Structure 1
Amino acid sequence: MNIVILGAFGHLGKAVYQLLEPLPDVNLTLFGREKENIEVAPTTKVIFGDATNTEDLERVLQGQDIVFSTLGPFHVETFATPLVETMEKLGVKRLFWTTQFQIRQETVTDENIELAKVFGFDEETERTYVANQQLGAKIIEESSLDYTLLMPHFFKYDNTIEKAILQDDDETVKGDPISIYSLAIVLANLVLQPDRYSRKGVIISASK
């Protein structure tokens, strides 16, 4: 199975990579902007480039079976549009697109605004972020791709082990923010089961 991670050098991309890399029969390619001191296995292919550039995307997507994206968090339409265009052109169909658990809500709730402040986001930033994530998800959903919208709760930058809750995208979220380690475990497992959640969204949170 050939898997490419887009936005691979951010916190979430690296966490998922570390879980997938040791597995047999998984060939990984990492794609992102150039960073220093990147430690990867010798069997991992690393390509640096611009995810808004279709020529760079063609270089990295050729021959891939699964695309896992952590691109963002803002201006995601500038990533979603060229990604859809390039995947459709190359015939690469399976996409896991990381977005946000509030994208199905008509408005950002007062409760989530207060929670966002705990994570360092003011009200304007949170509303802008959710609206932008909704736009990116719409571009993906209107494509011909076999996508899954990954819709995690706020995630904590720690390695706490938590029980995850997975829900259909039309449900009200039941859980709480999730640690990045626990989220990465869920995402790695979903990527390895590409028949699940085809052309659907999945909400991911931590058990209360």
Structure 2
Amino acid sequence: MKIAVFGGTGRVGHKVIKQALTEGFLVKALVRDVQKASLELKGAELIEGNARNKVDIERTLQGCDLVFSSLNTDKTDTLSVAMPHLVETMIKENVTRIISIGTAGILNSRLEAGKYRFESKESKRTTTFAAEEHLKVLQTLQKSNLDWTIICPTYLPDGPMEREPRWEIDYLPAGGKKITVDDTALFAFNEIKNPRFSRKRVGICY
């Protein structure tokens, strides 16, 4: 299997790439700086470009079987710009499966029915920009016929694998406070290998 990766130099993305390469998967990653990324992503096929550019997305997807995205917002609208291009290109290239890293903010609220967590009292965030960008990704994927999964970790500190995370479809498991980057990457990679959550959001935490 050959995986097209977007956001591969990010905290979760590069861990997923390393796991994939270790287990014999082929990886093709879109990066902004090939020279810099090549030091971190040895063994991956690197495409220099920008996820906001449809042509660069097309170049990355060619010859791939599955998409993994851990693009983040970086206080820009990259997510909401890139995802429609990505969906359109996946359909064109007949790639049906995408696993994306989202945020717990776009899971359903336990306290206020009909609201997302970022809209409710459950959210501790003072700004909703990132969650709104991730929500646009969810809405774009929901409108498509693609086989998608959005993995939604809560507070995401750097750190090694600690233990098996708890998970719940559409909600963050009750009392969840955090999950490390390494455990999030492992959960995502396991979903690449053994899909369980077709067209679902999955909240993960300890």
- Paired with 2:147 and 2:49, the residues of 1 have a C-alpha distance of 24
1:87 and 2:90 aligned? yes
Q: Which runs of no fewer than 5 residues in structure 2 stay unpaired?
A: 110-114
In structure 2, C-alpha distance between the alignment counterparts of 1:70 and 1:153, rounded to whole Å? 14
CA contact (8 A) 2:14 2:41 kept: no
Task: Give 2:112's aligned residue.
Answer: none
The letter for the 2-side match of 1:190 is E
Aligned to 2:205: 205
| Equivalent pair of 2:54/2:85 in contact (CA under 8 Å) | yes
* Native 8 Å contact 2:3 2:27 kept in 1: yes
Count of aligned positions = 192
Return the letter of the residue paired with 1:165: R
Measure how far apart 1:152 and its partner are: 1.3
Taking only aligned residues, the RMSD between alpha carbons, in angstroms, comes to: 1.8
Q: CA deviation at 1:31?
A: 1.5
1:101 paired to 2:101: no
TM value normalised by structure 1: 0.85
Q: Which amino acid aligns with 2:7?
A: G
Q: Does the CA contact (< 8 Å) of 1:99 and 1:151 recur in 2? A: yes
User: Partners of 1:144 and 1:84 in 2: how far apart?
Assistant: 9
1:112 aligned onto 2:113: no
Q: How many angstroms apart in 1 are the aligned matches of 2:40 and 2:105? A: 34
**Equivalent position amino acid for 1:9 in 2:** T
Distance of 1:58 and 1:160 partners within structure 2: 34
The structural deviation recorded for 1:185 is: 1.1
One-letter amino acid of the counterpart of residue 205, structure 1 = C
Which residue pairs with 1:162 in the alignment? 163
CA contact (8 A) 1:162 1:179 kept: no
Q: Match of 2:82, as an amino acid?
A: F
Change (3 A) 1:177 1:58: same
- CA offsets 1:134-185 (integer angstroms, 9 cap, x no match): 122101111121111111112111225133011111x353222101011111
Question: 1:58–1:86: 8 Å Cα contact kept in structure 2?
Answer: yes
> Residues 39 and 149 from structure 1, CA distance in 2 versus in 1: closer, same or farther, beyond 3 angstroms?
closer
Aligned-residue offset at 1:95 = 0.5
**Could you say what secondary structure the match of 1:202 adopts?**
strand
What amino acid is aligned across from residue 186 of structure 1 in structure 2? F
